[in-house]
């Protein structure tokens, strides 16, 4: 039987699943870094989180929406991985599962599933856990390279917590804090610091970014303008106040900034579509992160910054459009 179809008769080999697969590949280095620094605990949390998200999406599709399951597009795997990367490695399993529930059922499926959620599911899950269980969410294990069981678990503060401490103290404690150890740039770059599983290793995250740029999964605008805005603000304040708090490099390498800028803010569904919109969005994220980190009671501001900007995405999309061919300033009469 002949088939008739509307043009075009060809399709690009890229589909939703292959895009998601590329994001997962980009997330692998950070996952490996987490395994290296936090051992078995990290693996348990990751597996729980991914499994939890996938199973919940499947259940919602089957028994609530009564439609074929959408888990095969792998987006739930990404949500699970990102949620795990945003948790400390010694998170109790049941708490992780609560996070999965909030991320998938409340933040994603309740809005209608993939492509329709307003807020980044993994971030909603993380923020929910962060507000509900502040102690567990801020108890960071000291990283131990290649010690898989991580037996003698001693806790450590994150760089950001240390910075916060400096901020609210006299110069005397500042000195002691320095002795107590703001980590070295190198340690922060490779990830040998306390923190959430996926956020510690800047090197691994940058590898992921390069992969996604190479595969054209994302454009460079959001990561660049997010980190760039944040850097510039810190730089200006650093120069004008001479306070170590604003040391731009420490600020960028610490906390979830890179994880957020590379993987969370670039989430397709919850970021603007036009290039102009993306730049707006990223600059907004950068400013908010700076404000929350330095002028709120929280040490970390990436999650809140991105979630707040997520809410503005529909508005940004309504106002920022690409230039229609043949109009605009490029048009000059010869």
Partner 1 sequence: MSKIKTFSKGGIHPQKYKITSDVPITDAGIPDMVVIPVRQHIGAPAKILVQKGDKVKVGTLIADADGVVSADVHSSVSGEVTKVEDAEAGSGYYEKMITIKVEGDEWEENIDRSPNVVREISASPEEIIEIVKQSGIVGMGGAGFPTPIKVDVPSGKKVDCLIINGIECEPYLTADDRLMQECAEQIVIGAKILNKALGIQNAIIAIDENKPKAIEAVQKITRSYVGVNVQVCATKYPQGAEKQLIAAVTGREVPPGCLPIDVHCVVQNAGTVFAVYEAVQKHKPLFERVVTVSGDAVNNPANFRVRIGTPASFLIAKVDPQQDVGKMIFGGPMMGTAAINKEAPVTKTTSGILLLKQTSVVDPVVSACIRCATCLDVCPQGLEPFAIANFVRNAEYQEAKKIHVLDCIECGCCSYSCPARIPLLDFCKLAKYEIRKKK
Partner 2 sequence: MSSLILYNALILAAIAVVAAVVLYFAAKKFYVKPNVLAEEIAAILPQANCGACGSAGCQDFANKCAAASEEDFRNLYCPVGGKDVMAKIAQKLGYQASSHEKTVAVLRCRGNCENAPDKVEYIGLKSCRLASRVFVGKTGCPNGCLRMGDCVRNCPFGAIEMDPKTGLPRVDTEKCTSCGTCVGICPRGLYEIRPVGNNGVRVYVACNNQQKGALARKNCKAACIGCMKCTKVCADVTVENNLSYIPTTVDAEQYGAELAANCPTGAIIYTGKSNEQN
Residue 178 touches which of partner 1, partner 2, none (Cβ within 5-8 Å per kind): none
Q: What is the distance between the alpha carbons of residues 57 and 72, in angstroms, rounded to a whole number?
A: 10
Answer for which of 135, 151, 172, 324 binds partner 1 (CB under 8 A) is 324
Residues 6+ positions from 115 with CB-CB distance below 8 Å: 268, 269
Q: Which two tokens mark 161? A: 């917590």
Scanning 1-9, 81-89, 245-253, 313-321 for contacts with partner 2 by CB under 8 A, the matching segment is: 1-9
Q: Which two tokens mark 236? A: 């200006």
Answer for which of 92, 115, 180, 181 binds partner 1 (CB under 8 A) is 115
Measure Cα distances from 324 to 122, 221, 249, 329, 330 in Å. Answer: 35, 20, 39, 11, 11
| Closest approach of partner 1 to the CB of residue 279, in Å | 13
Residues 2-31 that bind partner 2 (CB under 8 A): 2-6
Answer for which of 29, 31, 113, 255 binds partner 1 (CB under 8 A) is 113
Scanning 10-18, 28-36, 51-59, 123-131 for contacts with partner 1 by CB under 8 A, the matching segment is: 10-18
Residue 114 binding partner 1, by CB under 8 A: yes
Scanning 8-16, 30-38, 43-51, 251-259 for contacts with partner 1 by CB under 8 A, the matching segment is: 8-16
Residues 6+ positions from 47 with CB-CB distance below 8 Å: none
- Identify whether the C-beta of residue 304 lies closer than 8 Å to the C-beta of residue 127: yes
| Closest approach of partner 1 to the CB of residue 327, in Å | 6
Among residues 87, 67, 80, the alpha carbon closest in space to that of 121 is found at 80
Is the CB of 57 or the CB of 199 nearer to partner 1?
A: 57
Residues 6+ positions from 321 with CB-CB distance below 8 Å: 274, 276
- Identify whether the C-beta of residue 66 lies closer than 8 Å to the C-beta of residue 118: no
Is the CB of 109 or the CB of 227 nearer to partner 1?
A: 109
Residues 218-237 that bind partner 1 (CB under 8 A): 219
Residue 268 touches which of partner 2, partner 1, none (Cβ within 5-8 Å per kind): partner 1
Residues 6+ positions from 114 with CB-CB distance below 8 Å: 16, 70, 73, 75, 108, 269
Residue 75 touches which of partner 1, partner 2, none (Cβ within 5-8 Å per kind): partner 1
Query: What mask, x for binding partner 1 by CB under 8 A, covers residues 19 to 48?
Result: x-----------------------------
Residue 12 binding partner 1, by CB under 8 A: yes
| Closest approach of partner 2 to the CB of residue 12, in Å | 16
Is the CB of 16 or the CB of 161 nearer to partner 1?
A: 16
Answer for which of 101, 268, 298, 312 binds partner 1 (CB under 8 A) is 268
- Identify whether the C-beta of residue 105 lies closer than 8 Å to the C-beta of residue 60: yes
Q: What is the distance between the alpha carbons of residues 112 and 318, in angstroms, rounded to a whole number?
A: 21
Residue 152 touches which of partner 1, partner 2, none (Cβ within 5-8 Å per kind): none
Measure Cα distances from 221 to 42, 55, 117, 121, 234 in Å. Answer: 31, 34, 22, 22, 20
* 3-state secondary structure (DSSP) of residue 141: strand
Q: What is the distance between the alpha carbons of residues 290 and 248, in angstroms, rounded to a whole number?
A: 11
Contacting positions for partner 1 (CB under 8 A): 2-12, 14-16, 18-19, 70, 73, 75, 113-116, 219, 268-269, 271, 273-274, 321-327, 330-331, 334
Contacting positions for partner 2 (CB under 8 A): 1-6
């Amino acid at each position: 039987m002949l088939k008739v179809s509307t043009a075009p008769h060809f399709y690009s080999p890229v589909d939703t699943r292959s895009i998601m697969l590329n994001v997962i590949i980009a997330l692998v280095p950070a996952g490996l870094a987490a395994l290296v620094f936090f051992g078995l605990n990290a693996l348990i949390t990751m597996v729980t989180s991914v499994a939890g998200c996938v199973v919940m999406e499947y259940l919602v599709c089957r028994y609530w929406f009564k439609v074929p399951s959408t888990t095969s597009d792998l987006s739930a795997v990404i949500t699970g991985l990102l949620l795990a990367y945003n948790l400390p490695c010694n998170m109790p399993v049941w708490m992780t599962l609560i996070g999965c529930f909030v991320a998938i059922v409340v933040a994603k499926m309740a809005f209608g599933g993939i492509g329709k959620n307003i807020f980044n599911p993994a971030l909603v899950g993380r923020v929910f856990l962060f507000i509900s269980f502040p102690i567990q969410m801020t108890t960071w294990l000291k990283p131990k390279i290649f010690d898989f069981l991580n037996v003698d678990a001693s806790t450590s503060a994150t760089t950001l917590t240390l910075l916060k401490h400096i901020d609210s103290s006299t110069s005397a404690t500042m000195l002691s804090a320095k002795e107590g150890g703001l980590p070295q740039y190198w340690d922060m770059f490779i990830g040998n610091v306390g923190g959430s599983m996926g956020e510690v290793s800047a090197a691994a995250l940058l590898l992921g970014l390069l992969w996604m740029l190479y595969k054209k999964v994302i454009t460079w605008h959001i990561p660049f303008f997010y980190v760039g805005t944040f850097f510039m603000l810190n730089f200006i304040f650093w120069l004008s106040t001479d306070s170590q708090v604003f040391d731009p490099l420490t600020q960028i390498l610490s906390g979830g900034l890179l994880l957020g800028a590379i993987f969370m803010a670039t989430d397709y569904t919850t970021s603007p579509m036009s290039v102009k919109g993306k730049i707006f969005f990223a600059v907004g994220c950068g400013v908010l992160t700076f404000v929350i980190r330095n002028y709120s009671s929280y040490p970390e501001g990436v999650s809140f910054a991105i979630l707040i900007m997520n809410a503005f995405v529909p508005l940004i999309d309504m106002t920022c459009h690409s230039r229609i061919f043949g109009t605009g300033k490029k048009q000059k009469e010869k």
